[in-house]
Chain A
């Protein structure tokens, strides 16, 4: 079974530029998560989708971050404009069950973003 795919793996941009990350979850997984992992810290949840609807985006800085999951499969996370403090690894995860379940989350390899 293929795992969670993410691209690109690495991205370097200058501050105030825009960037987008793509995630393809495990086939059939209803719930998709985006996390931000700053160097030396644990992942922090940014947004959670159940199918194509947002379940929780309370930690998403909505002035610059946006995310969508059209058709309830792939998802994109965008930052516009980027700031220096956005430098981090952006992890995508998916789980089989619906939101609020304790189904295992499977993580992708992440996209490492560097903002100069």
Chain B
């Protein structure tokens, strides 16, 4: 079956540091989405990527859709305390959306 690996599983960083997380898949996807989930809430869409090689920014967030269509990364620059949460990649193909296991981010002031 399809394999979807998200890493790292968790990160503990100081406020102001940059963060990078990624997902790799055994299958090709046409769309890569990145979500953030705060405690007690549902996931919220951060960035959507629709084309292989695409690099997209949303404020301090930058994400790229890998050229092979099997991977994506998300970078957060100059982290702040409200960046705390769980980040999920969610590749998507024709009505089939999978979620990674998540990267739990802790930011120490």
Contact = CB atoms under 8 A, between A and B. Distances in A.
B62 to A, nearest CB: 19
Interface stretch (A14-22, A41-49, A65-73, A74-82): A41-49
Interface string B86-109: 001010101101111110000000
B69 to A, nearest CB: 15
- Interface extent on A, as a size class? 20 to 34
Chain A binding surface SS class: loop
Chain B binding surface SS class: loop
Interface string B6-28: 10000000000000000000000
Interface of B: 6, 31, 40-45, 48, 50, 88, 90, 92, 94-95, 97-102
Interface of A: 4, 40-45, 48, 55-56, 91, 93, 99-100, 102, 104-105, 107-110
